[in-house]
Structure 1
Amino acid sequence: MRITQGCFSFLPDLTDEQITSQLDYCLRNDWAIGIEFTDSPHPRNTYWDMWGNPMFDLRDAKGVMLELADCRQAHSDTYIRINAFDNTRGWETVRMSFLVNRPAVETKLAMSRAEAHGRSQVYGLQTSR
């Protein structure tokens, strides 16, 4: 099973060169870059762990790639994503988010559905490796 979250998630994993191209695009648009990681890719898990602070003043993709390399070294068996934040409207809005690292064994997500009182449906989601 392949976790599909964010931009490009249905494509093959991006190479470092392709990641750098996407970072260049984000930085040309004056978007701040943030790196996050988790071992729980549940779709409702929106609070991933941050790797350092968002890079608001960065203008070169090489700086992000250095931080990404450090994050990959420290958390090689987790999901890592890059978020690009836009603040042109006065608040931080995620404009782009994409995975840049996956664990060797992907987390499996299984959905269950059951009948409940009053013909309502109850859904559950289980994760396992």
Structure 2
Amino acid sequence: MRITQGCFSFLPDLDDVQITAQVEYCLGNEWAIGVEFTDDPHPRNTYWEMWGNPMFDLRDAKGVMMELDACRNAHPDAYIRLIAFDDTRGVESVKMSFIVNRPKEEPRIHMQRTDFVGRSQKYAWDVRG
């Protein structure tokens, strides 16, 4: 099962050239970039681990790619995403996020539906590796 979250999630994985182009787009809009990683990409898990601090003063895509490579080397089997913050209104709101690294094998979720009293249904799920 392929986890689909953020921009470009239904497209094939972006290569580093395409990621760099997106980072340049974000920096061109004066958005700060952050790198986050997790081993639990559930949609309700909105708090991924930060890799360092968001790069508010960085204006070069190469610096972002260096941080991304360092995170990939430290966590090769984690989900890693880039997030772009816009602080023009005095708050850091996320304008864009997209996954840039996935584990070799993504978890599979098995959903079991059971008919219940009347027309009600119950659902149970478990994660299978």
TM-score (normalised: structure 1): 0.90
Q: 85-94 or 114-123, which moves further after superposition?
A: 114-123
Q: Is the 1:51–1:71 contact (alpha carbons within 8 Å) kept by the matching residues of 2?
A: yes
What is the aligned partner in structure 1 of residue 49 from structure 2? 49
Q: Is the 1:41–1:107 contact (alpha carbons within 8 Å) kept by the matching residues of 2?
A: no
How far does residue 120 in structure 1 lie from its aligned partner after superposition?
Answer: 6.4
Q: Aligned partners of 1:78, 1:115: CA distance in 2, in Å?
A: 36
Q: Percent identity?
A: 68
Which 5+ residue runs of structure 1 have no aligned equivalent?
none
Q: Secondary structure at the match of 1:96?
A: strand
Q: Does 1:110 align with 2:110?
A: yes
How far does residue 90 in structure 1 lie from its aligned partner after superposition?
Answer: 1.6
User: Match of 2:93, as an amino acid?
Assistant: T
Q: Is the 1:39–1:78 contact (alpha carbons within 8 Å) kept by the matching residues of 2?
A: yes
Structure 1 runs (4+) deviating above 6 angstroms are 115-120
User: Match of 2:53, as an amino acid?
Assistant: N
Q: Aligned partners of 1:117, 1:88: CA distance in 2, in Å?
A: 53
What is the aligned partner in structure 2 of residue 64 from structure 1? 64
Mapping 1:113-128, distance limit 5 Å: 113=113, 123-128=123-128
Q: Is the 1:79–1:101 contact (alpha carbons within 8 Å) kept by the matching residues of 2?
A: yes
What is the aligned partner in structure 2 of residue 18 from structure 1? 18
Q: Secondary structure at the match of 1:58?
A: coil
Q: Deviations over 1:11-69 (max 9, x none)?
A: 11101000000000000111110100111111111111110000000000000000000
Q: Secondary structure at the match of 1:104?
A: coil
User: Match of 2:16, as an amino acid?
Assistant: D
How far does residue 92 in structure 1 lie from its aligned partner after superposition?
Answer: 1.1
RMSD: 1.8
User: Match of 2:21, as an amino acid?
Assistant: S
Alignment coverage as a number of residue pairs: 129
Q: Aligned partners of 1:114, 1:89: CA distance in 2, in Å?
A: 48
Q: Deviations over 1:75-115 (max 9, x none)?
A: 00110000001111221111000000010000122344556
Which 5+ residue runs of structure 2 have no aligned equivalent?
none
Q: 18-27 or 117-126, which moves further after superposition?
A: 117-126
Mapping 1:3-42, distance limit 5 Å: 3-42=3-42
